[in-house]
């Protein structure tokens, strides 16, 4: 997908300079979707003022490239917390690893010691990288961010482990490409994964042009009573995001009649497709039955997918290295 087409569809030229610009530079004619991430991240970083005075597409490109590079951001984060020379690792968290409030400081001496640790600052830096271009650390960042108010030693060690992972993947970024302009979604949940409140984790990711454009990893607001309920509520949240993306694309001039969302729970699919009343689902909040409406009217096509092929698995829990590397690659993250 050519950047010229993307800029025309998203009306980015008008947003940047508030005036039309003609793209004639050969570099822009040949550049693939890698530029989308750079442009998006630069805009998110609040640098519109830096490019407002530029008159040509090439000048804008050069300015944004200098302002934001994934590797330079990662290295800046590592240097900030003195982790630039740390030993790298292959995954953010080990398999079956969980944090809990029992790891928080239990006495004043421990709290005083942890007050000297830049925990909140480190988590905030990781969160910025995650929101911009690193869906692969979303689950880990979500886990450590729950203990910002009272972190313990184990929590800090976990944050440093994520930084060690960043150290080994500092040149990894979202890379867009290909000619297929179709949105696909993947959703999963981790039943009762939170040890403190026994809430489940919702994870979903939407891909476009070969890479992720929207992703979430967060605790559900209520306690699910079964894996089916957890998957059903996660699928509902993913369908809400699918509808939003569908309407956004329509406003930008690209109409996609139906968005495919893939889920690995057959029972959740059955509940979503069958609008009949179930005695075992009567306790589920009314808002979560929104999925039935969008499936019935055809806006979202909910499909079954094998767990091994579900990209969203990486957003719900720590997984083994092989599956993690495959999920990261499938989300469009590659070395640049």
Q: Where are the domains of the chain?
A: 3-68, 81-172, 177-335
At residue 47, the pLDDT reads 44
Gap between the Cα atoms of 67 and 229, Å rounded? 44
The two three-digit tokens of residue 152, written as one number: 């313990």
Give me the CATH topology for the region 177-335. Nucleotidyltransferase; domain 5 (3.30.420)
Residue 185 contacts residue 206 (beta carbons within 8 Å): yes
What is the predicted pLDDT for the residue at 64?
A: 60
Q: What is the pLDDT of residue 284?
A: 79
| Placement of tokens 């990486």 in the chain | 314
CA 281 to chain centre: 29
What's the confidence (pLDDT) of residue 8? 36
Residue 53's pLDDT is 53
Q: List the one residue out of 268, 277, 276, 274 whose CA is nearest residue 303.
A: 268
Q: Which residues of the chain are under the pLDDT cut of 70?
A: 1-58, 60-70, 275-280
CA proximity to 232, closest of 261, 204, 193, 271: 271
Q: How far apart are CA 97 and CA 158, in angstroms?
A: 10
Q: What is the pTM of this model?
A: 0.79
- Rounded Cα–Cα distance for residues 336 and 329 (Å): 13
Strand-strand pairing, 201-208 and 184-190: antiparallel
């Amino acid at each position: 997908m050519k950047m010229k087409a993307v800029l025309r569809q998203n009306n980015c030229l008008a947003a940047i300079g508030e005036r039309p610009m003609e793209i004639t530079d050969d570099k822009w004619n040949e550049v693939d979707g890698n530029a989308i991430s750079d442009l998006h991240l630069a805009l998110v970083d609040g640098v519109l003022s830096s490019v407002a005075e530029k008159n040509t597409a090439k000048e804008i490109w050069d300015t944004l490239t200098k302002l934001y590079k994934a590797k330079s951001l990662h290295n800046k984060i590592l240097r900030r917390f003195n982790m630039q020379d740390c030993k790298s690792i292959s995954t953010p968290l080990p398999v079956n690893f969980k944090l809990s409030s029992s790891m928080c400081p239990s006495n004043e001496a421990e709290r005083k010691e942890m007050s000297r640790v830049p925990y909140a600052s480190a988590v905030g830096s990781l969160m910025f990288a995650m929101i911009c271009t690193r869906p692969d650390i979303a689950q880990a960042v979500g886990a450590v961010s729950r203990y910002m108010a009272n972190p313990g030693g184990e929590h800090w060690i976990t944050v440093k482990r994520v930084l060690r992972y960043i150290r080994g993947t500092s040149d990894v970024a979202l890379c867009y490409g290909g000619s297929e302009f179709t949105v696909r979604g993947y959703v999963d949940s981790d039943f009762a994964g939170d040890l403190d409140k026994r809430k489940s984790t919702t994870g979903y990711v939407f891909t476009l042009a070969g890479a992720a454009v929207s992703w979430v990893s967060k605790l559900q607001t209520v306690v699910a009573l079964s894996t089916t309920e957890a998957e059903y509520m996660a699928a509902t949240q993913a369908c809400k995001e699918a509808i939003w993306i569908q309407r956004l694309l329509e406003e930008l001039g690209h109409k996609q009649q139906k968005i495919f969302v893939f889920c690995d729970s057959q029972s959740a699919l059955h509940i979503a497709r069958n609008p009949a009343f179930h005695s075992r689902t009567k306790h589920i909040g009314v808002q979560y039955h929104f999925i039935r409406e969008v499936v019935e009217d055809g806006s979202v096509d909910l499909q079954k997918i094998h767990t091994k092929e579900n990209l969203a698995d990486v957003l719900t829990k720590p997984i083994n290295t092989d599956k993690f590397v495959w999920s990261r690659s499938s989300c469009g993250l590659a070395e640049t």
